[in-house]
Structure 1
Amino acid sequence: MSKTLDRFSHRLSVVFGLVFGSSLNRAHAQNKLARHIVALNGKTSSSEIINEVADCLKGILGYRLFAFVNKKNAGVDVWLDPRMYKTSIEEVIIKDFQVKDTKDLTYLNIEKGREECLEQFGMDSLVHYDHKEENCYSRLYMMPSRPITKFHDDVVRIILQGCSAALSKQINIQRLQDAAAIDPLTGCCNRRAFEAQLKGHAASAGRHGKPLSVIMFDLDHFKAVNDTYGHLGGDEVLREVSRLVRRNIRTEDIFARYGGEEFIAILPETDQAHAIELADRLRQEILAFPIPFSNRLIRVTASFGVAQLGAAIDIEKLIEDADSMLYKAKFNGRNTVMPGLIKVHRDETSPSLIQTKRSLILQ
């Protein structure tokens, strides 16, 4: 790290010696940029790092950071000027990074589904700078308030280099954290990480008076899958089912491998009725999902148990309730959800009267 800062310091001295006329202005600007570069390495999240870059560009050059895009192995992160319409630059990002859909973009500082009611900008004056690190590729988009000179260009590149180095370090830290929290076979959370997440989400639900539910499911007759296709076939089933579920839940939901062929998901701000509906959709998706393996197709089903956190915020009881419902689902023939879906029935003798009853889906 000290060698990196020494290189930055040398480049700053050269650049600012050319850009600024007086030694006083030169020293002030150089110190200001050096502080920003050092601050970048102290940030603990991508958003904090890029916010620092935005402040640096504005404070030293008067330039406006329009957007910052960081492409990693895991996806594409986007930081966006909070005053602008997303659609103003989304098409540019999709084209530049060859992204199939906006769903593949993760916004670091803006709600993806927010109401777009802010400023619009023309793209005519948009410029960009690129920098590549070993584990990421960064692009900085900005709208300069004046023509970019060679000297301003050098300053921007120094800022981008410092930012990319900080982001690369953050990615490596996250990778180490993920290694301790991720199940290596399926790529979802492991049980220890799940339990830690559940404590935090349960405390938050109790504090804010929000519902929280969990879905627990188990692949039916999984031993027969291993006996028929071998453990490699069984592993492929676990991987593909995990991917299927992750595609069909929200990004804020926590999905984990609970043990063997058993999985569990935390659904923040979700009551039991909606959790049951999601569980049944997942059940149908798994039922209809053929998994290719060794020139054959493996088909599996799953049984689901659903429970909602009670007023006492008892995590152990929540897991026990979900496990109990999963046991009942298996006892009732498997490939089902317990409790069952709530269906609405109209009394034909009295059209104005709506009756509701709970019915179990047994298929």
Structure 2
Amino acid sequence: MAEPPAEIGTDDIRAAVASGLLSERQAAALTALAHSRRGAREDLAAGDEPFELFRGFNEIFIMVGLSILAAGWIGIAAWWVYDDLTVWKSSLVTICSITAALIWLLSEYFIRIRRMVGPAILLTIFFAANAVFGLAQWHAQVFMLAQEDYSSLILPGFLAVAATGVFWLRFKVPFAMALIALGLFATALLIAATSAGKPQSVTELFVLSGQGGFAWVTLALGLATFVVAMLFDGSDPHRVTRRAAQGFWLHLVAAPMIINTVALSLLDRGTVAAQWQILAMMVLFAVVAVVIDRRSFLLAAISYVVSVIVALNPLTEDIAFAALILALGLFLVLLGAFWARIRGALVAVLPLGGLRRRLPPIH
């Protein structure tokens, strides 16, 4: 049996600098990379799913500071626009352009130099939101929006997604992938709404039997997002690079997209059989989640289903829905408690073929 590869420690890096193999700058960059990859994985149990929103309280401190900074900047921008309302549109576009440049500069420091996780997520949200708002101010027609014609928002939607994509290419923040998927989802719904007319109700947006194709757009985008997430996961089955983190966020977005259409279509029937079908669908989602070793995929799906059930059917009015939620909760707890054993058994019996080498190892 081959010996496991030796780990390179701090003393080895210092020796490399002393011998001239590495410069001090290269050594610092290598050390920072090692720490960023280790992150929250250091204390994970075997087979657990890496997840971190921030590293230490200093990141929270900086995120609070960035939020207060943003609030102050918005206040100054509001006064700028209010000072001359005759050119409010051009003023807003100018402000958003300056804001984008400032966010980019902050990102260069906090993301590329400091490699902070929490501030990276917050700055990505700021950049995407600023892009949506600024591009909408540039192209959207107020009179069309007042008449519930949203076709002028389609181009800003695509451009905002493209801008977020450029931000991702530069800074490689995994969370940006979730925003890109959500942006495409919102823009696709705008296209469907423009081509098919205004839906009669919110439910019609996502029920497969409804008019306009909204539900099919949702389902197709959810499946496409899931495929992209699996491509990221398959390229990093051991989950040690940013590709795995990008897959994580895409799974969080894909599951509600898929489950939203199917669950609402079943709940629209209002029968006991439909409730059993929802449970069966959750079992199918669980099998997929366990095989690909993504708790985030199943958690997002079940959480969304529960929220939809509670929103549409008050638990005090129908005990059947309360029992359904109880069953889903029990199912989730048991699955989490015995995840590794269940996964080992499933992967052993399912005919996965060549897909096995793309899946995380069994622990």
Pairwise TM-score range, normalised by the shorter structure: under 0.3
The answer to which structure has the higher strand fraction is 1
| TM-score, length of structure 1 as denominator length | 0.24
| TM-score, length of structure 2 as denominator length | 0.24
The answer to which structure has the higher helix fraction is 2
